[in-house]
Structure 1
Amino acid sequence: MIDQDQARKFWTSWVRREIGGNDMIQEAAVSAAVNELLLGHDNQAAANAARDTAHRLSGGVPTPHAAPPQQGGREVVATPVAAAGPAASGHAGAPLACRLCGSTPAANMSIHEHNGRLLWMVHKTNKGPFCRDCGTALLRHHQNSTLFQGWFGLFSFFITPVTLLLNLVAWRKVKALGPPQRDPNVESKLAAPLTPGKPLLRRPGPYVAAVVVAAVAIFLGVKSADTGGCLDSNTELANRKTDLHNTYVRTFNRDSAAIEACTSVDCERAPKLEIVAALKTFNDGLNGVCWPDTYKADAAALVRANSAMADAVTLWAAATTPDEDQSRAQVVTDELARRRAADAVLSRDLGVPAATPAAS
């Protein structure tokens, strides 16, 4: 009994060197060679089967031989043989037959492969119908190749999981098929179904994918640990804080001008309450940020200062007389100074000053 794994390894190398062709042709040629060995035939029969299979799948183009015959000092040009037509695929009520070996039952499916190449990418698709064994062989081959080579590119890193999920549709169809039955009178590209080959978990692809996913998870975990569980950079945090600050400042400056223009306490009430609302929005934004431990205390201090000022302005807006208004305005001025100081501390620690300086 031959060792199928060793045989496939040897014939994979031989087919790649002596025959070439695309992945599907090479896989089919290797399977044909191994099938011959399993039937008890010798290596010459296996080589002939591999060449014949590649010849059929490549559309009748003659395949090279190790020692081409010579005649009169010149090579004899082989006459191409017409390729066998595809097996019947559901015509006139007939059941679907495998596109490769002609076996039934078969199912329509598309099997995908994606390879990332840093600056570009390669996507391959094999369309059926395929029988159970041919479909399994192709799925294992293309899934392994995708898992092995699919991650190495900016876009490919995200396309690869989609490709793997798309192949699950084909996998379900393959698993639902019964054993392939081949009518010897039906012409097909292969004399027998492809050998499924090693299961996916006995190929390198899944383990390369596991290493890639683990590396990404470790990187994100380390980054998260360094920032107290928050993934935003200092610059991102500073920009978010500055945006919140500037939005508040625009409201404060506009409403302060409106208050200055008022000639009665009642006129001032609406712009004062708008300032209160702007301070609450500022705090909502600050509370929505994931602050690293380094900045948590400063952010909390600014939230408290904003709240204290909002309370003071709310009380100011409730004034009913000019004297009461004047008295409460002084409290707002004191809270404004504290708010400015807390804002400045957080901005300084983040390393990016507020974009809109104002008396806020």
Structure 2
Amino acid sequence: MATPYPPQHPAQPNQPVPQGGYAPNGAQHPAYAGYAQQGPYAQPPAQPHVQGPPQAPAQAYGQPQPAYGPGASVPPGAPGCRVCGAFPAAADVTIRQHTGLLVAMRTDKAQGPLCRTCATAIHRQMTTKTLAGGWFSPMSLFLLCWLTLAANVHAHFKIAKLPHPAPTPATLHPGKPILQRPLAYVGLSLIAGWVLFLVVRGLS
């Protein structure tokens, strides 16, 4: 009887038989694929670590996320404070200081963008110096000092409308209010003393 060709059940090659936990002659046995050593100290192959999408930190219920501060979204093109870099900041704030020097005058100004905290500190400092030394020239006494103070009052209401920014290490300290600073009464005291002197001299 003829044998069919090709044979229906071809002979399978001899498979290496593991001996003592290792495949003979360095061959890799299917039962030990992925293992460098068999036995009680064998370690499974390391699986690659797959990192999922980042998860946002949990927010406490009922606590809204601050509009400004570390990690908060800032509107595109929003100006930062020129002193400390905090948000938000007003770009159209101008604070002025006037000094009368008997025969000369000097006017300084600080312009935005400034946050509420830094603008308040600068406003209090420059307005106090204007009240202390802005009277000592004829033009300053009768016109320029008053205009400077009026402009700073307008700037004060504009600063008060700004929300409080997130504090930064470079934020200026506002200090005491203007009316609680003794320097603010120096110029007015000298003027009041001079007027009192003239009145008393005229009556005598």
Bucket of the pairwise TM-score, normalised by the shorter protein: 0.5 to 0.7
Q: Matches of 2:184 and 2:119 in 1, distance apart? A: 19
Amino acid at match of 2:177: P
- How far apart are the structure 2 equivalents of 1:221 and 1:173? 40
Out of 200, 203, 206, the position equivalent to 2:184 is 206
Contact 1:113 1:123 in 2 (8 A): yes
Deviations 1:54-105 (A, max 9, x none): xxxxxxxxxxxxxxxxxxxxxxxxxxxxxxxxxxxxxx84333211111122
Asked if 1:168 corresponds to 2:146, the answer is no
Query: Which residue in 1 is equivalent to 2:4?
Result: none
Q: Tell me which amino acid in the other structure corresponds to 1:198.
A: K
TM-score by length of 1: 0.33
- 1:178 maps to which residue? 163
- Residue 129, structure 1, aligned to residue 107, structure 2: no
Matched-pair contact (CA < 8 Å) for 2:98–2:145: yes
Give 1:7-46 correspondences, 5 Å limit. Answer: none
Matched AA of 2:184: P
Distance 2:201 2:161 in 1: 45
Note the C-alpha offset of 1:117: 1.1
SS of match in other structure, 2:105: strand
* Structure 2: gaps of 5 or more residues: 1-74
Q: How many angstroms does 1:137 deviate by?
A: 0.7
Aligned to 2:77: 94
* Pairs aligned (count): 129
Q: TM-score, normalised by structure 2?
A: 0.55
Question: For residues 196-232 of structure 1, what are the alpha-carbon distances to aligned partners after superposition, in whole Å with 9 as ceiling and x for unaligned?
Answer: 1222123233211331342354356457767xxxxxx
Q: Is 1:149 the counterpart of 2:133 in the alignment?
A: yes
Matched residue SS, 2:155: helix
Structure 2 counterpart of 1:95, which letter? A
When the two chains are superposed, the root-mean-square deviation of aligned CA atoms in Å is 2.6
Rounded to whole Å, the distance in 1 between the matches of 2:100 and 2:188 is 16
Partner in structure 2 of residue 119 of structure 1: 103
Does the 8 A contact of 1:180 with 1:193 survive in 2?
no
> Could you tell me the percent identity over the aligned residues?
38
Report the residue type matching 1:196 in the other structure: P
Give 5+ residue unaligned stretches, structure 1.
1-91, 185-190, 227-360
Please show how residues 235-250 of structure 1 align to structure 2 within 5 Å: none
Contact 1:148 1:204 in 2 (8 A): no
State how far apart, in whole Å, the 1-side matches of 2:171 and 2:178 are.
19
Q: 2: distance between equivalents of 1:122 and 1:146?
A: 10
CA distance in 2, matches of 1:110, 1:212: 28
Indicate conservation of the 8 Å contact 1:103/1:180, yes or no: yes
Residue 114 of structure 1 contacts residue 160 of structure 1 at CA under 8 Å; is this kept in 2? yes
Matched to 2:133, the amino acid is Q
More helix by share: 1
Q: Which has the higher contact order (CA 8 A, sep 6+)?
A: 2
Aligned partner letter, 2:86:
S
How far, CA to CA, are the matches of 1:223 and 1:161 in structure 2? 27
Alpha carbons 2:129, 2:184 under 8 Å: kept:
no
Q: Separation in 1 of the partners of 2:139 and 2:197?
A: 19
Structure 1 CA distance for aligned equivalents of residues 101 and 78 of structure 2? 40
Moved more, 212-221 or 171-180: 212-221
Instruction: Check the 8 A contact 2:128/2:184 in 1, yes or no.
Output: yes
The within-5 A match list for 1:1-360 is 93-107=76-90, 108-158=92-142, 159-181=144-166, 191-219=169-197, 221-222=199-200
Q: Distance in 2 between matches of 1:152 and 1:213?
A: 9
Distance 2:161 2:194 in 1: 35
For 1:148, what is the secondary structure of its paired residue? helix
Q: Which amino acid aligns with 2:190?
A: V
